[in-house]
Amino acid sequence: MGFGDVKTEGILRFCAIILLVLSVFLLGFDKETVQIFHVDKKASFKSLRALVIIIYVDSMAAGYNILQLCKCWIFAQPKGISKLGTHFHIYLFWLSFFLDQVAAYLTFASNTAGMEAAFLAVTGAHDFQWMKLCNRFHRFCYQVGGAFLCGYAAFFALLLISFISAFNLFRHYSPNHFLRLKSSNNNK
């Protein structure tokens, strides 16, 4: 079982999918209502626009990884897609490499933006007269924190997948010549 092994990539993708879906569920079903000065105030993921964006990004990243998991399953079959030419494999590896990078960095960026917005909910901003929301909505804030933890864990899984994707792509190129494919007998 080597670094670029399809099983290793499949296991990492499965873990990333579980973490991304868990993050989406934690944010999507997180609601809390408290009474402030005889008025019911409700906190949900719609309260912070950054949390809505995290739900979209994590959902798209999970969907993409489900498709890539199907690709791993096809490659793990005895015949795989060996009927297709070498150039098609290279294009597929480039596409996977690019999309793996996009998924990892968008997941990181959306979780970091959400973390910044949540930081304001924890600390408040006296200059803008924004109150601390987490003083009132304890369960909501803890659940959002759990979603961030799952989101960052998914990012690290996606980062490892990106490393594997880069390895799978660039092992087909000659180390002596910039972006020149190895000959077919050395390609293994």
Rank 42-56, 61-75, 136-150 by mean pLDDT and report only the highest.
61-75
More confident residue, 174 or 165: 165
pLDDT tens readout for residues 156-173: 999 999 999 988 887 777
CB atoms closer than 10 angstroms to residue 55 = 20
**Window from 11-20, 51-60, 111-120 with minimum mean pLDDT:** 111-120
Q: What pTM was estimated for this model as a whole?
A: 0.80
In 3-state terms the chain splits into helix, strand, coil percentages (rounded to 5) of 70, 10, 25
pLDDT tens readout for residues 136-160: 777 777 888 889 999 999 999 999 9
Say how many CA atoms lie within 13 Å of 177 toward its Cβ: 7
Q: What distance in Å separates the CA atoms of residue 115 and residue 104, rounded to the nearest whole number?
A: 16
